[in-house]
């Protein structure tokens, strides 16, 4: 990206809470990623497969061959220029929404982080505890430190579950979805071409619809933060991920 492009994406992230960057990965790079995912052992507890969704939690941990493919020079530039030189990956998920999926996600904000254990720490809660997974809502300043990078392995539009967002809603803090007035803040569908990325803030109100065109929607979702947690809590994935290096 040149300086003008960097300035534009920074402005969109500040004002709207999201931005889309095209052609971050080549067709060859996308094929390599898909091949690594397809060759992984899908039998572990962090793999979830139904007729409507295939998901891999702690994606970069359980599919370690992905890290060198994902953390390309282009991604390192995006993180360094748009997030900050101290931001590192703290959570990763892979989603594959099949072409005939009836799965949809209602309006919500991303309010939880993944941590290493459950501890009673002031300002953290409520908790969700599942096998090999501890999730908790942290103080709002932690959520505000996070940038989510979504790498699209397929062309994505309204027919195969592209995210719908409410621009600017990230600036309202934590609030309930039942307070949304779409007449006041019309939704926007975030179309992203294969090889492009969408960047969003977790407090951005977003949703996704059912698929209707028979095309998959495969996305690698990686969250970055520059914050340390308190009270003995640590990010669940940070220690085992490749950090983004400074130029």
**pLDDT tens digit string along 30-70?**
999 999 999 988 777 777 776 556 888 999 989 988 999 99
Which of the four pLDDT bands, split at 50, 70 and 90, describes residue 247? very low
User: What gap in Å lies between CA 203 and CA 51, rounded to an integer?
Assistant: 29
| 8-state DSSP, 156 | B
pTM, 2 dp? 0.92
If you write DSSP's letter for every residue of 22-46 in order, what string do you get?
Answer: --SS-HHHHHHHHHHHHHS-TTSTT
Listed by start position, the domains of the chain span 3-234
What pLDDT does 246 receive?
Answer: 47
Q: What is the pLDDT of residue 99?
A: 56
Instruction: Enumerate residues 6+ apart whose C-beta is below 8 A from 208.
Output: 104, 105, 161, 162, 163, 164
Overall fold of domain 3-234? Jelly Rolls (2.60.120)
HSE, CB side, 13 Å, CA atoms: give it for residue 228.
3
pLDDT score, position 160: 79
| Residue linked to tokens 């220029």 | 81
Low-confidence winner among 13-22, 140-149, 204-213 (lowest mean pLDDT) = 204-213
What are the pLDDT digits (tens) for 66-110? Answer: 999 999 999 999 999 999 999 999 999 998 876 555 567 899 999
Q: Is the pLDDT of residue 204 over 50?
A: yes
């Amino acid at each position: 990206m040149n300086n003008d492009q960097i300035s534009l994406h920074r402005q969109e992230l500040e004002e709207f809470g999201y931005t889309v960057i095209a052609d971050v990965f080549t067709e060859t790079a996308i094929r390599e990623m898909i091949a690594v995912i397809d060759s992984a052992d899908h039998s572990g507890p962090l793999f979830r497969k139904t007729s409507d969704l295939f998901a891999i939690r702690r994606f970069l941990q359980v599919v370690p061959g992905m890290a060198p493919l994902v953390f390309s020079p282009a991604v390192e530039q995006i993180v360094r220029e748009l997030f900050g030189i101290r931001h590192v990956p703290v959570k990763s998920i892979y989603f594959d929404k099949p072409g005939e999926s009836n799965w949809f996600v209602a309006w919500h904000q991303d309010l939880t982080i993944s941590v290493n254990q459950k501890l009673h720490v002031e300002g953290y809660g409520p908790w969700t505890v599942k096998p090999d997974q501890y999730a908790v809502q942290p103080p709002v300043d932690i959520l505000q430190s996070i940038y989510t990078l979504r790498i699209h392995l397929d062309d994505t539009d309204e027919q195969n579950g592209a995210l719908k967002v409410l621009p600017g809603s990230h600036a309202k803090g934590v609030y309930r979805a039942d307070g949304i007035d779409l007449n006041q803040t019309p939704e926007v569908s975030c179309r992203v071409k294969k090889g492009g990325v969408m960047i969003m803030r977790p407090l951005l109100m977003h949703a996704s619809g059912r698929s209707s065109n028979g095309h998959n929607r495969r996305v690698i979702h990686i969250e970055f933060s520059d914050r340390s947690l308190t009270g003995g809590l640590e990010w669940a994935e940070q220690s085992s991920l490749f950090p983004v290096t400074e130029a």
